[in-house]
Each structure stands twice: as C-alpha cells, then as structure tokens.
Chain A
Amino acid sequence: MENLDEVYNELIMEHSMNSYNKHKLDHADRCEKGHNPSCGDEIELELKLNGNIIEDIAFTGSGCAISQSSTSIMADVLRGKTIAEAKEITKTFIEMIKREITDEKELEKLEEAIAFKNVANMPARVKCALLAWHTLEKMI
C-alpha cells in the first residue's frame, strides 16, 4: 500500500484517539450496537432526534483507528441533517468505500468523511470504515 499517510492522516488520527463525540447522550431516542468480529471493533451509536432532524449523535466503543474515527466523523457530518439527508450521505459513503462512485462531485456531500476515500484501496479495512455507517442504516 503506497499512501499510508493519506489514510492515517491528522483528521482520522485525532478523531480516533481524542474524539469529543465519544460519550453517552443524556436522552437518546435511538441506540444501536455494531461490531466487527474480524477486527474486534465495537461501537454503540446513540441518536437524539427532533422531528426528522438528527439533533445529536454520539458513540461509545473501542476498536481500530479507522472504525473509531469513521464513527466520530460520521457524527460530525450528520449532526443537524434531516433523516433523508443522512440516508443520502450514508449511501454515498458506502458507495465511495466500495468504489461504486463514478462522479467525483457526488463526494462533496460527504464533507470531512471524504477523508476515508483511500480505505477503498485497503480491502482488509473496508469493514472498519463501514461499521458506523451500516449501524446507522439500521437506525434511520
């Protein structure tokens, strides 16, 4: 793998090690666990909704840098979005990791989550990047 630094970049490292999104919510409306037996990654996602708006997202858990930072960055990106927008962003993120995106422009809606683009070149780590997003899919 050529571009390791592009995967383990500042943003991903900061989010994986020192995430401000890693905590319990006071009054969560929805809660879902996700895990990745191959890696031992575990997360518990919590959502607070206000009508059809995701008012807050937080998570707890442990695992590799990619799974934990992907969860944290997802929380940043989706906070304040409508459920419909979150569904659309989630779909795009999954397609990006699976290399199914043809129009690069579509990636713009991912905001900071675009940082995981290079994980698409790391088959062994795809599951790690997708864990949070697949878990969210079950919640919205």
Chain B
Amino acid sequence: MNSEEIKKDFPIFKNRDITYLDSGATAQRPQCVIDAIDKFYENKNANPHRGAYELSIEATEAYENTRDKVAKFINAAHKEEVIFTKNASEALNLIAYSYGLDNLNEGDKVVISIMEHHSNLVPWQFVTKKTGSKLEYMYINENYELSEEEIKSKITENTKIVGITHVSNVLGTINNIKEIIKYAHKMGAVVIADVSQSIPHMKIDVQDLDCDFLAFSGHKMLAPLGIGVLYGKKKILNNMNPFLMGGDMIEYVYEDKTTFAPLPNKFEAGTQNVEGAVGLGAAIDYIEKIGYDTIENIEKDILSYAKSELSKLDFVETYYTPNKENHSSVISFNIKGIHPHDLATILDSEKVAIRAGDHCAQPLIRYLNLPATCRASFYMYNTKEDVDKLINALKKAYNMFAKFIK
C-alpha cells in the first residue's frame, strides 16, 4: 500500500478539495470507521451494562470488544487495565486527581518535560500546588531533544511522578521514554507516558515500555472524536480512588456510603461512549490491516521529502532535531517576517490546512523564544503532492509579504 491508495479509503478527500496537513490535531476517518458507527446505531444501540435484554447485551459486547482490542493493541497484561475516557486530556486529569492528589506530599517532586501539551502540564501545576509538592521541568537542548544528563539531573530520589510525552506535538521529537521509565523506576517514581502523538504512527507496547500509566486520544488515530484511553497497571489502579462518580461505577450504594465496582468500571461513571469505542475498534482494525511497518515507511518518505523541499526555501525557518531517527511526522516552521497566523490564512486560501499558534504548549513556545509556529503534520494518507502544494503555497505567501519586509 502507498499513501495514494490509502487516501482513497478516506471519504473526506473525495468530498473536499483540501491538502490536509493537520493530522496532529485530529486525523481524518476512513470509511470503515464511519460505517462501523452507522452499523452500531442501525443494529446494536442500547444502554450498555444496564439492560437484561439481548440488545443491551450486544451493545455491551460491542463496547467490551473494543476494550479487548485495545488491550491487545497496546499489549496490556489485563483487559481491565484499559479504561475508556473522553480523550487524552481526561485520562491525564484522571491520573492527576485520582493518583496525584493522594500520593504527593510536601517535598515530593513531579517532573515533566518542557515539551508537554497543556493537558499533561496544567493538571500537574494544580496538583503540585494543592499538595505542596514541586513541579520541575526537563528542558530540551539545541537539538530539541532531552539529553541524558538533563533527565538524570531532574529525576531524583524525591521524584514521585514523571510525566513525559512520547512525541512532541510541536517539534516531532521522539523521546526515549523506555529509558526515562527505566531510570525513573530506579529513582522510585511512577511514569505517565502521553502517547497521543506516537500511537497513530508507531507500535506501542506497554509491557515493553513498563510505563505505569499511558494516555491517548482515539481521534488522532482515525477513531471518532470523544473517545480516549487510559492505561494503568492493575495494582496501581486498584489502589486509586475513583475520578468521576455516579452510575455504573458502583457496587452497593447506601444512604451514607458506597462501595465501588472493580476495574475497569470503577473509572467509567455514567453511560459510556459506545459509538466512540466501536469506532476506535474499527480504527485499530484499519491500522493493523495497513500495518505499522507500512505506515512508518510512508511517513518516513514523506517527512524526509518535506524536510528536503522546505530546506530549499531560504525564507523558511524550521524547528526539528537533526537526528532523523528521533523525528516523527510533525514539522514546525516560520517564514521570517510573516506571523504564523497570517501564514495560515494565506495557506488556507490555497486550501492547505496547517495549524498556527502555540499548539497547546505555551511554555515550550516561550522557551523556544518564538511568538508561535506554523505546524504541518503528516499521516499515512499524505502524499508528495500534498507537500508540493504546501511548498507552492509558502512561496505565494512569501511573495505577497516580501515587498513589504524592510
């Protein structure tokens, strides 16, 4: 399979004339995912877990099948280690509230990287302030990477929690999370891996990584909006208090006390997003059908083509690591003298969709000393033609502005 063939599976590219380079924000959906959701509503819709009748049982099965699928997909040891959430943000907040608040004390440290998305940063500001613990950052070097010295100087004996993104949504840097996890464990910390930007592109194996928690959103990996996954080691999840409370997450409720359901239901209060889960299941099937090897090959090609074409434009400034093997699917750039938002507007007029702004990573953008960046992000359906359109649109933008740049 090549990206031209894959593109045909995505109806939006038939319906809209668009060069879509914003998959880092959300991916497009293949027909099979859209169909799976339709079929669920046409044949199986009922409230899961709540009916003694066949239809409800089938809805429950559809939901739980995806849990099995996700568990296999990320190689979890137990299916109940997979908790469905709304998105990565909710998964990360769940960890911060249900684990962080109860396990941090004065003098403890939470260590995260300066590359974190706000969703793996703001909750830790809140929780460290609440508990009197300290939030520390691991900073990047001139290659936009975390050096081993930096990691080892920040993760120390009093570090209780480490939060780290696998791939930076701004820089595309792939962090060596396996090594970070190993070192953090040696120091006695638990580690949260945010794989939102990596799982669409590369195989994730939670047992191989040995992460304690892991979070991602379905919508960046071809699944519908509104479904995400929290993975946690069973032993840790069992000892945590619930995050949201209400229906379905209980065992017995008395007027004055409640016992909670076992995993995974303990963390899934209320009627769940079965449509989302079903769509996520179909997305996993699709990714496995294409195969991560193929996806990686396509993306490697497209990324190196994009980098080489961008490097020919002397008015473009890019921000990514020179170490090819540590770079995934995202290129941030600026044109000197043109604000990223103006550039995005001009590219939009050429039907090229990129993102401009702080990418929900303001501390990183500030650390880079930039006002904002433009970001092109790629996925399995992006072709060289997409890159060519980006390059032409950039030339047009530059020409529009060049005569005024003094």
A13:B404 contact, CB within 8 angstroms: yes
In angstroms, how far is the closest chain B Cβ from the Cβ of A129? 12
Known: A39-B372, A40-B371. A66 touches B406 (CB 8 A): no
Tell yes or no: A34 within 8 A of B by CB: no
Stretch binding the partner chain, chosen from A46-54, A79-87, A92-100, A120-128: A120-128
In angstroms, how far is the closest chain A Cβ from the Cβ of B49? 40
Known: A40-B357, A40-B372. A64 touches B405 (CB 8 A): no
Q: Tell me the nearest residue of chain B to A1, going by C-beta.
A: B349
Interface readout for B166-190 with A: 1 if CB under 8 Å, 0 if not?
Answer: 0000000000000000000000000
Most A CB contacts (10 A, CB to CB) among B337, B345, B405 go to: B345
A125:B345 contact, CB within 8 angstroms: yes
Interface readout for A11-39 with B: 1 if CB under 8 Å, 0 if not?
Answer: 00110111000000000000000000011
A40:B406 contact, CB within 8 angstroms: no
> Can you show 20 pairs from A to B with CB atoms below 8 A apart?
A4-B346, A4-B349, A7-B345, A8-B346, A8-B400, A8-B401, A16-B404, A17-B406, A18-B404, A39-B357, A40-B358, A40-B372, A63-B371, A65-B338, A65-B342, A66-B342, A122-B345, A124-B345, A124-B348, A128-B341
Collect the chain A residues with CB atoms within 8 Å of residue B339's CB. 39, 63-65
Which residues of chain B from 344 to 360 have any CB-CB distance to chain A below 8 Å in the complex?
A: 344-346, 348-349, 357-358
In angstroms, how far is the closest chain A Cβ from the Cβ of B334? 12
Collect the chain A residues with CB atoms within 8 Å of residue B358's CB. 40
A8:B372 contact, CB within 8 angstroms: no
Collect the chain B residues with CB atoms within 8 Å of residue A7's CB. 345
A64:B349 contact, CB within 8 angstroms: no
In angstroms, how far is the closest chain A Cβ from the Cβ of B203? 35
In the complex, what distance in Å separates the CA atom of A62 from the CA atom of B342?
A: 13
Number of contacts between A and B (CB, 8 Å)? 52
Collect the chain A residues with CB atoms within 8 Å of residue B340's CB. 64
Which residues of chain B from 310 to 357 have any CB-CB distance to chain A below 8 Å in the complex?
A: 337-342, 344-346, 348-349, 357
In the complex, what distance in Å separates the CA atom of A8 from the CA atom of B338?
A: 12
In the complex, what distance in Å separates the CA atom of A125 from the CA atom of B357?
A: 13
In the complex, what distance in Å separates the CA atom of A124 from the CA atom of B349?
A: 13
Collect the chain A residues with CB atoms within 8 Å of residue B371's CB. 40, 62-63
Collect the chain B residues with CB atoms within 8 Å of residue A1's CB. 345, 348-349
Collect the chain A residues with CB atoms within 8 Å of residue B338's CB. 65
Collect the chain A residues with CB atoms within 8 Å of residue B400's CB. 4, 8
Q: Tell me the nearest residue of chain A to B337, going by C-beta.
A: A17
Collect the chain A residues with CB atoms within 8 Å of residue B406's CB. 17-18
Most B CB contacts (10 A, CB to CB) among A18, A40, A62 go to: A40
B342:A8 contact, CB within 8 angstroms: yes
Collect the chain B residues with CB atoms within 8 Å of residue A62's CB. 371
Given contact pairs A40-B358, A125-B341, enumerate 19 new A-B contacts (beta carbons under 8 Å). A1-B345, A7-B345, A8-B346, A8-B400, A13-B401, A17-B337, A18-B404, A18-B406, A38-B357, A40-B341, A40-B357, A40-B372, A62-B371, A63-B339, A65-B338, A66-B342, A124-B341, A124-B348, A125-B345
In the complex, what distance in Å separates the CA atom of A123 from the CA atom of B86?
A: 28
Which residues of chain B from 370 to 406 have any CB-CB distance to chain A below 8 Å in the complex?
A: 371-372, 400-401, 404-406
Interface readout for B84-116 with A: 1 if CB under 8 Å, 0 if not?
Answer: 000000000000000000000000000000000
Interface readout for A112-139 with B: 1 if CB under 8 Å, 0 if not?
Answer: 0000000000101100100000000000
Most B CB contacts (10 A, CB to CB) among A16, A65, A122 go to: A65
In angstroms, how far is the closest chain B Cβ from the Cβ of A128? 7
Known: A8-B400, A62-B371, A63-B371. A39 touches B341 (CB 8 A): yes
Collect the chain B residues with CB atoms within 8 Å of residue A8's CB. 342, 346, 400-401
In angstroms, how far is the closest chain A Cβ from the Cβ of B276? 27
In the complex, what distance in Å separates the CA atom of A38 from the CA atom of B148?
A: 34
Most A CB contacts (10 A, CB to CB) among B339, B372, B401 go to: B339
Which residues of chain A from 62 to 81 have any CB-CB distance to chain B below 8 Å in the complex?
A: 62-66
In the complex, what distance in Å separates the CA atom of A104 from the CA atom of B338?
A: 32
Minimum-distance CB pairs A-B, first 4: A64-B339, A64-B341, A13-B404, A4-B349
Q: Tell me the nearest residue of chain A to B345, going by C-beta.
A: A125
In the complex, what distance in Å separates the CA atom of A71 from the CA atom of B405?
A: 19
Collect the chain B residues with CB atoms within 8 Å of residue A122's CB. 345
In the complex, what distance in Å separates the CA atom of A109 from the CA atom of B85?
A: 53
In the complex, what distance in Å separates the CA atom of A2 from the CA atom of B337?
A: 24
Collect the chain B residues with CB atoms within 8 Å of residue A125's CB. 341, 345
In the complex, what distance in Å separates the CA atom of A67 from the CA atom of B342?
A: 10
Q: Tell me the nearest residue of chain B to A15, going by C-beta.
A: B404
